Structure formats: structure tokens, C-alpha cells
Amino acid sequence: VANPERQTRARNAGRGHGRPTLATVAAAAGVTAMTVSRFLRGGDGVAPATAARIGAALSSTGYTPNKHAGMLASGRSNIVAAIVPSIANSNFSITLQGLSHTLQHAGMELLLASTDYSLAREEQQLRAVLGWSPSGLVVTGCRHAPAARALMLKAQANGMPVLEMWDHNPRDKQFVQVGFSHAAVGRAMAQHLLQRGHRDLGYIDSGVAQDFRARQRANGFAAAARAAGVSCRLIVAPPIEAMAAGRAAFTALAQAGLPRALAFASDNLAAGALLCARGIGVQIPAQLALLGFGDQPVAAQLGLSTVGVAPYQIGAICGQRLLRMLAEGGARPGAIAADETQPSLSPPTLLQRDSS
Amino acid sequence: VANPERQTRARNAGRGHGRPTLATVAAAAGVTAMTVSRFLRGGDGVAPATAARIGAALSSTGYTPNKHAGMLASGRSNIVAAIVPSIANSNFSITLQGLSHTLQHAGMELLLASTDYSLAREEQQLRAVLGWSPSGLVVTGCRHAPAARALMLKAQANGMPVLEMWDHNPRDKQFVQVGFSHAAVGRAMAQHLLQRGHRDLGYIDSGVAQDFRARQRANGFAAAARAAGVSCRLIVAPPIEAMAAGRAAFTALAQAGLPRALAFASDNLAAGALLCARGIGVQIPAQLALLGFGDQPVAAQLGLSTVGVAPYQIGAICGQRLLRMLAEGGARPGAIAADETQPSLSPPTLLQRDSS
DNA sequence: TTGAAAGCGCTAACAG
DNA sequence: CTGTTAGCGCTTTCAA
């Protein structure tokens, strides 16, 4: 070849992203890239005079580190991937805020995906986020498509902390779980109403067909009612905005004849029903007891009894656990078991207010 | 050196992340990595027989592409970074859901950061996410720390689409804006109440000290009242949960003497006040008119007049614009101007209900 | 305390 | 249609 240099330049046309690199900074500081890299990662073993020159070069070039390159070389990404059914659902958005706050303190980034309550989409999103080699993975719930579960297990086997949040299933603890049993909450809700002496119960479930956890609460509620020998009607709310759905479900039920006490899959459903009931002059709790789920602000305002579930804490604890697992060197099965100790999630609390 | 091969292996101890790579798949399929790469990126120009072997190799190895390596080589990351003041705020979480849905369709990932309404933290988060060379950037609002603005401009100059959402400032259009003027909304809110004949106004502002956009609405409201020669009291709600804050602010105001009409920085503030007012027997709207902001579900349930602002649409439009800018080849200033055409955001709408 | 060499896993460019 | 070569920007390892 006549002119290899020229050919190389031609071959590399289109390469490079225009931003300054470590080499740019290094040239400006009169050192090699390696020294700049050391400086950036804490400055251990860099002479003060050199450090000063590097600092100057850094700001004069406006250098921004390329974290992809760093990841590729080091194998550590400092990305945590979180997968939730819906970002718009306030339970999950508050949880994400808790997770984000905790991760920010540790210099980790949050990669977010949502599934619209579909297991197929969850698997898809899982594949997508795993491509970024996250340092940790947080998924929602304990139910996953078989392939998704396999991916999670493989990731965990490779040392990636994998957490399941918003559910708790003692019979299937392959991953760290930060959540609570929805069936138990459903039972507790029924028990509360039974203790208040109500013998004719109703439950209005979420209209989101794929919301397993809501279904588990409904089932737990129904089972407890059945066990007490009490009648329990189960109604599924229409798949529209929750407050409007609560109103609609209540209206339908009122025409069929109201039970003595009604529990709901969410506070918003309950709030819609409560406002509707007040509107038509139903006395609460004298004629009808109401019980929500989630302890949203609206529940406190309406005097609605509910179940508090600490969504922010779920996210924050996921973050803390994840960081600790990372610090303790990966997610080997032994480490996971040890991790069960603390920090732990406050259990759901039944908050009795004026509606029951 | 006696045995260079051996030395190389020693040097590379600890390298490699244990996962199968393109080379692994290629070996299994009896081709080179390049052919597998072609197959994965659409399969153009790969013989059917080869494609079949690669497909088999792909699933037998359980290959997951390393997107960092892909990014590094191609310069395209398919990551969109979004920075919001608060993930827990339902306006922003719904916007993020809209953005996420739109980006998912295009195979892009969402990297999320929150600032707690602090410009300093915004700058920090901006630096952090820029290290991942996102394909696009979505920030909240038009106010930024000078250094943050400089980073955004530099990124845009390098061809990265940069969008500002949830605000609109015609005098400062350095970036694509997907939002509305909060001052104009504040004025419109005042005008609505003035048109209903109220001559004694009050405004209850958010207790979040750094929420500039809420402040702009308050200022617009006050300015319109002043221009009409009407008295207007401005109250700042306490920095607690919004519904409780609305109740507290209303209680304080009721003791000092209620105005004829009250507007609020958010529906939740207004809802708290409305429920409190109903509780103490204030007739709405006969004695007191109420006007919220945001068109949250609770507003419809309470018959609260409000301003609809389409948070999902804001996110979806950001996503669409961003994808289009990317398709049209970068964010050159000219392209931005052209982008102003469509899709466009529905302007805020005053929704009159029973409270005014 | 600093540097040199090598390579992380992938894709662009060119060659055949 | 497939392969070869080089290199993206960084960090690891070893050498000085």
C-alpha cells in the first residue's frame, strides 16, 4: 500500500463522536490518558502538581467522561434498571422516587421501563434493559413469564442483584423480595370489616385485568369472608380512571342493593364511591362501611379507612438493599439470605378512620 | 519475551464479563462476528441458510447484546435522558409514562433523573446523564443553572435533540419547548373568576419554594387582578402534602376572612380546601368560588373547576418530536425551527364545573 | 508517581 | 453474501 496513513484516516471517517476524550485532556495537561483516568477516579497516586494541571485541562476542554467506554473496560455500569407496570400509578411513581433518591446518593443511574401490566412486555423490557449490563435489577412482583424468570436467574447467577418489589411470596424466594403479601392484606381487610360486625360484604376490584396483586387481595378478602361464613359479592370496576370507576361500580351496586360494608382495590376507587354515596345521602359508616387500600392523600381527606403500604419506603429499601448487595460483592445465594435481615419494610397497616 | 501468548492471557485475567459475545455466537454458527451483527441489525444481506444457523446459535448460547459496546462502536446509544423535578408528582409521572410509551415503540430506553426542584441538582444530574451519550435529552422547564444551560447548548450543537417541557417562553427559544406559558394560565384563571363577577380574589400558591412554574402562575394571576383593579390576596400553602396543605391554608384564610373567589396552584390544594369548606358549611360557589389547576381525577369528582393541561400528551409529544428530530438527522438550529409545526400540544383549557 | 500495551464487545468501512 | 481490519474511549495490568 502506498500511503497507509491516508488509508487509515479514510477508513475511520465517521468514527469519533466529536467530544473531547481522555486523550484530549491528557494532551492539554501534558500527561497520558492513564494519569487523567486515575485523577478522575479519586486521584490516588497522582502528584499534586500534576493534579492541578489536569484539573485545569479538564475544565478548559469541557470534558465529559464516556461512561459506555468506562463500562466496557471495567465491567461496572452503575446503572440500575427498574421495571414497573405503570409509571403513572402513584404507588409506583412514589416507589421510583424513593429508589431514585437512594441511588442518586450512590452515584447510580436509573434506567426505567414500564410494562402496562403485561408479562409479555415485561419480558421484552427485561431483554432490552439487560443489554445495558445494569449493576442491579428491580422488577415488580413475583410473577414473570418463564423466559423472563430465566433471564433474571441467569443475571443473578452472574452476580447481579435482582430484587422483586411490591409483593412477597415466601414459597418462592429465588430473589430478594421487598413487599408484602397481597392475599394477607385482603384477608386483613375482610377481618377488619368482620370485627366491626358486618356480615354482608362486598369487594370492588380494579378494572385492570392483568393486575395480579389486586386480584390476590380480592381473593384473600373473599376467602376470609367465606371462612367466616359471611356473604361476599365481588364486583370488578370498569377499566376507566379509578375514581370514576369507583363511582360507576358503586352506582351499579346501589341499584342491585348495597351490602353492609365495601372494600376496594384502591383508595381512588373507594374515594369515587364514597363521594357518590355521600351525594345520594347514604350514611357512612352507619349504613355502609367503606375501606380503601393504599393510604393515598385523598383517603385522609375523606376520612376513608384504608391500608397504609409505604410506597416510598419500598423504593428506598430496594435501593439500600441493592447497594449493600453490590458492596458485599455480588448476589451469590448466600449473600441474599444474609440480606434478609435489614433494612426491612414496615408491614401494611390498617388505618381506621371515619368510614368504617 | 519468551512466551508472549501466555503473558497476554495473564494480562487479561479478570477481563471479560462472562456473558456470551458475538464471537461466541459466531463460532457456534460457523460464521464471523460481523455476519451475526448484520443478522441482528435486520438481516439485510444475510443468506437464509446462514440466518437459520445464526438464529439457532443465538438461542443456544442465550446471547444478550452488549449495548455499551454497540454504542461505543456506532456512536448511537438509543437512550433518552429525562430530568424532572419530582417523579412522585403525578403531573410528571404521567408525562414520563407518555414519553416512555412513545420511546418504547421506537426501541429507545429511558434514563431518568429527578432534581427535587433544585437547579443545582439539575446541573449535577445533567452531567451524570450526559456521560451516557444519550440520543436525546428532555428537561423540565426553561430555567436552568448557567452551566447546565451551557451543557445543553453544547449537546444540541453536537446534534443531540434537547427539549424543554412543561413550560413555554417565546423570548428564549434556544431549545424545542413542549409546554405552555404558566403566566398566561395564571392570567386566564384570574380572568375566569373576574368574568364570573368576583371582585375579591385570593390565590393559594404551592409550598414548594423552588417551583418556578407555580410562581409564574401566581404572578400572572395577581397581575391580571391588579390590572382589573381588583383586590387579590396571595397565600403560600405550608410545605406539606398538597391536600392537607390546601386544608391548612383554607383554615387560616377562613379565620382572616374569606375572599369571594379562590384559585390554587394545584387541584390537590383546591380539593383539600373544598372539602374543608364543605365541612364547615361554606356554600360553593354561592359564597365562595374555587378554581384548581391540573385537571386531576379528584377535581372531576368534586365538581371542581380547573385548568386541563394534558400531561400525558406533553410526554408523548416530546417523544414524537425527539424521534422526528433524530430521524431528520440531528438537532441543527434550522431543523428545530421546522419542528415547531407539528405535532403540537393542546393549549391549557379552563374547565368550568360546579365550584365557580 | 507515571507510562505503555492490550483489550472490553461491538460496528464502520472496505475487500472480495 | 461474507470476511478482514481497525478502532470507538476507557480501564486493567504490568513495567519503570
CA–centroid distance for A117 within its chain: 13
| Strand C reaches within 7 A of the A49 CB | yes
| Strand C reaches within 7 A of the B300 CB | no
Closest CA to A38 of A58, A18, A20: A58
| Strand D reaches within 7 A of the A43 CB | no
Sign for the CA dihedral angle at A219, A207, B298, A86 comes to positive
Burial class of residue A191 in the structure, from the number of CB atoms within 10 Å of its CB (0-12 exposed, 13-18 middle, 19+ buried): middle
CB-CB under 8 Å, B96 with A112: yes
CB A298 within 8 A of CB B298: yes
Residue A263 has pLDDT above 50, yes or no: yes
Residue A10 has pLDDT above 60, yes or no: no
Q: What percent of chain B has pLDDT over 70?
A: 92
Closest CA to B162 of B179, B145, B139, B142: B139
Kind of pairing between the strands at A109-114 and B109-114: antiparallel
- The gap between B22 CA and C8 C1' (Å) is 13
Q: How confident is the model over B331-335, as a mean pLDDT?
A: 44
Closest CA to A291 of A212, A191, A224: A191
Task: With 0.85 as the threshold, say if the pTM is over it.
Answer: yes
Interface test with B, best of A59, A86, A109, A251 (most B CBs within 10 A): A109
Rounded to whole angstroms, the Cα distance separating B175 from B80 reads: 16
Question: Nearest-CA distance from B229 to chain A in Å?
Answer: 36
Residue B3 has pLDDT above 80, yes or no: no
Residue A265 — pLDDT band, cuts 50, 70, 90?
very high
Identify the three-state secondary structure at position A257.
Answer: coil
C-alpha distances in angstroms, A273 versus A48, A148, A206, A297?
68, 38, 13, 16
Cβ under 8 Å to A: B residues 23-52: none
Listed as ranges, the nucleotides of chain C within 7 A of a protein C-beta are 1-14
Phi-psi region of A133 (alpha: psi -120 to 50; beta: other; left: phi over 0): left
- For residue A133, the chain B residue with the least C-alpha distance is B66
- For residue B86, the chain A residue with the least C-alpha distance is A97
Identify the three-state secondary structure at position B69.
Answer: helix
Contacts of A184 (CB under 8 A, 6+ apart): A220
Higher pLDDT, B225 or A3: B225
Contacts of A150 (CB under 8 A, 6+ apart): none
Assess whether the previous peptide bond of B343 is cis (omega < 30° from 0).
yes
Residue pLDDT, tens place only, B285-329: 999 999 999 999 999 999 999 999 999 999 999 999 999 999 987
Residue A269 — pLDDT band, cuts 50, 70, 90?
very high
Q: What is the pLDDT of residue A356?
A: 94
| Strand D reaches within 7 A of the B314 CB | no
CB B314 within 8 A of CB B165: yes
